[in-house]
Structure 1
Amino acid sequence: MIYRFRVILDTHEDVFRDIEIEASDSLEDLHNVILQAFGFEGQEMASFYVSNDKWEQGEEIALFDMGDKPGAVRIMSENRLEDSVWREQTRLIYVYDYLNMWTFMVELADIVEPEDGMSYPNLMYVEGQIPAEAPEREFIIEDLDDSLSNEDELDLDPDDYDNLDFNENWN
């Protein structure tokens, strides 16, 4: 089976790539195709995140296991597309370069039979140019005043340096 994905850069402009790839390929293969399709060099860390219909970030599938416990994090090379994405679970979030946070929405658009004579992966369609810098993330914080006013709850006085329980010679 062939998976057809639309990979959309999270920006105001229309920047996306339509990609065909074999369902039996790994998420690392999809990662490499995305890098090539958008012109990245591939020198940075990346992760996929399972997502729901609201594009909420779920379980991480990382390029490498950087966790405290070996095997605690799912790894791209060990996860096939057909085991991670299917008709009822069609969305992934892809983050490349944790410093700049290039963020992409990856959605399974179709599942088709392979075409005779076609080699996969295949870049089907290109729309828009990737900007020189990663788009700035827009975070929404509800009730900002409530979330930042926990000084009263913790009974802290930022002007009382001597009683903040801070060892300035910690190293």
Structure 2
Amino acid sequence: MIYQIKVTLKDVGLPVWRRLLVHSDTTFEDLHYILMAAFDWAGYHLHEFDVRRSDGERMSVTRIGPDDDTNGSDLENSFPFAVDEAFTSQFLPHLKLRNEKNERLSDWIKKEKDRILYTYDFGDNWEHNIVLESILEADPSLTYPTCIKAKNDAPPEDSRGELIEDGIDLVNPDWKEIVADINEVFETDNWKDEFLSRDDLF
């Protein structure tokens, strides 16, 4: 099955979003890379998924992220602030990060309006609302993932301060150009490897 998801970047002063079609069995690790390409993030900051609504039910404290080699295996390593010892002993046993390589979208979002919060870069704190809009049959004329609509440009890496000072113009009325640029990445053979090996990340 194919999931139509709308991914909206929060708190940037104007609507910035992408509507994407992805396989329902996409891992959260692959979804991370899809979002990197869709919002033109470089991918060198920490990230985490927080399932907010699953199978029509509200969730609490279900976090999914990279394994020990990147973010660390638990919340103590991935929180953007210090966690004191009392908090750790009381809560961390219940707040282990699930490994994003092993978790699939279909494990967690199953009904329309199910929702995930994706955070990229715990310093700038770019939060993205991911909402399951529709569950579709695969179209043999399409390749997946694919972007079908978009709104405005995403801010560049490490630019939260500049954005707050109104130093960045994100307005882009040409949504078709945004979509074409994103899909040009997705249509490349071995697109993930090609995207990660770009020489224009910095």
> After TM superposition, is the score higher than 0.5?
yes
Say which of 60, 64, 79 aligns to 2:63.
Answer: 60
Structure of greater Rg? 1
| Cα distance, 1:7 vs structure 2 | 0.3
In the superposition, relative to structure 1, how do residues 60 and 121 fare at CA in structure 2: closer, same or farther (>3 Å)?
same
Unaligned runs of 5+ in 1: 137-171
Give the AA of the match of 1:81: L
CA contact (8 A) 1:57 1:93 kept: no
CA contact (8 A) 1:63 1:75 kept: yes
Say which of 113, 116, 121 aligns to 1:97.
Answer: 121
Where 1:19 maps in the other structure, the secondary structure is: strand
Q: Which residue of 2 aligns with 1:46?
A: 47
Task: Report which of the two has the higher share of strand.
Answer: 1
| Cα distance, 1:129 vs structure 2 | 1.3
> How far apart in 1 are the matches of 2:97 and 2:9?
25
> How far apart in 1 are the matches of 2:61 and 2:51?
5
User: TM-score, normalized by length of structure 2?
Assistant: 0.60
For 1:1-171, list aligned pairs within 5 A: 1-11=1-11, 12-52=13-53, 58-65=61-68, 66=72, 67=74, 72-87=96-111, 90-132=114-156, 133-134=159-160
Aligned length: 134
Deviations 1:87-110 (A, max 9, x none): 067100000011211111010011
> How far apart in 2 are the matches of 1:62 and 1:108?
19
Query: Matched residues, percent identical?
Result: 26
User: TM-score, normalized by length of structure 1?
Assistant: 0.70
CA contact (8 A) 2:16 2:152 kept: yes
Give the AA of the match of 1:59: T
Unaligned runs of 5+ in 2: 77-92, 165-202
> How far apart in 1 are the matches of 2:36 and 2:59?
23
Give the AA of the match of 1:62: G
Where 2:101 maps in the other structure, the secondary structure is: helix
